Amino acid sequence: MNETRSTDARYPTALGYSTPTSITLLGDDLAQDLMGKVGFGELSYRLVTRRRPSPGQTRVFEAVLVALADHGLTPTSIVTRLTYLSAPDSVQGALAAGLLGGGSRFLGVTQDTGAFLCDALERQQRDGGTLPRSSGEWDALASHAVAEAHAAGRHVPGLGHHIHKKADPRTARMMQIARENECFGPHLELFAAIGRVHPDLLGRTLPLNGAGVCGAALLDAGIPASLLRGIALLARAAGLLGQLSEEMAAPSAYRMFLELESGAEPMDPTPAG
């Protein structure tokens, strides 16, 4: 069947474009200008923002990818392994299954924290205020945001971790990297202030978690707030591929399945209440 290309259809794009002899990506020749010259992290940043990152932005962006890549046998990696057990002919299905599990409890915290920080900063400026200039002013803004969320019964994203009860090892390091690369901006300032003020407001001390600090760092590095979860999934795709590689070499999903199957016990099917 011969297909003809309509001369009337136009679909503008600044991303990839191919001709019989070349491939153009972001205005550059893919083969000559990008391959072997640009790292995947820098290219990903450019694809998302349509601009070239500074060296500091690239370092922060890539540090986030490393921080979120893999955390062991989490729900996302478990479902990837189990899906591969069920359909070993579908690597893409196993990867997709793990990525689909990125939500409000795992991975999605990066975007939820970013949204919380953006909302607090935008309201501050919308109400005629300016960005804080001292740690005391940052603490005041953070106190207002945390107290408001607490009064409404909402969780403050970026606080707490199921394993790292005192301190998430990624948080201080990410802040250090951002400072070293002149990317420590208002979102990280506010996030750090939340860490200082929340114990008095919530009545307990929780660690600032790595997913949350990654959201703040990405915002200060120039990533749009609406795409933060996508960046977290980009990072986790590499980790899930590693999980698949290990599952192929040293299978464990079948043992997980057998444990769950042997642990199943009957219960009354009548709905409670």
Report pLDDT digits (tens) over 31-67: 999 999 999 999 999 999 999 999 999 999 999 999 9
DSSP letter for each residue of 161-223 = -SS-SS--HHHHHHHHHHHHTT---HHHHHHHHHHHHHHHHHSS--PBPHHHHHHHHHHHTT-
Q: What are phi and psi of 103, to 5 degrees?
A: -140, -155
pLDDT band at 5 (very low <50, low <70, confident <90, very high): low
- Amino acid residing at 122: E
Are 147 and 137 contacting, i.e. CB atoms less than 8 angstroms apart?
no
- 229, with CB counted inside 10 A (0-12, 13-18, 19+), is buried
Q: What is the percentage of the chain residues whose pLDDT exceeds 90?
A: 77
Among 106, 103, 98, 68, smallest CA distance to 80 is for 98
Mean pLDDT of 213-225: 97
Q: Is residue 127's pLDDT more than 80?
A: no
User: What is the band of 1 on the pLDDT scale with cuts at 50, 70, 90?
Assistant: very low
- Residue 121 has a CB neighbour count (10 Å cut-off) of 20
Is 3 a residue whose pLDDT tops 70? no
Tell me: the pLDDT tens digits for 69-120?
998 898 999 999 999 999 999 999 999 999 998 877 777 789 999 999 999 9
CATH class of 109-223: mainly alpha
Tell me the pTM: 0.90
Classify residue 65 as left (phi > 0), alpha (psi -120 to 50) or beta.
alpha
Residues 6 or more apart from 64 whose CB is under 8 A from it? 174, 214, 217, 218, 231, 235
* Contact (CB, 8 A) for 176 and 189: no
For residue 221, pLDDT over 50 is answered with yes
Interhelix angle 169-180/210-220, rounded to 10 degrees, is: 20
Give me the residue spans of the domains in the chain.
109-223
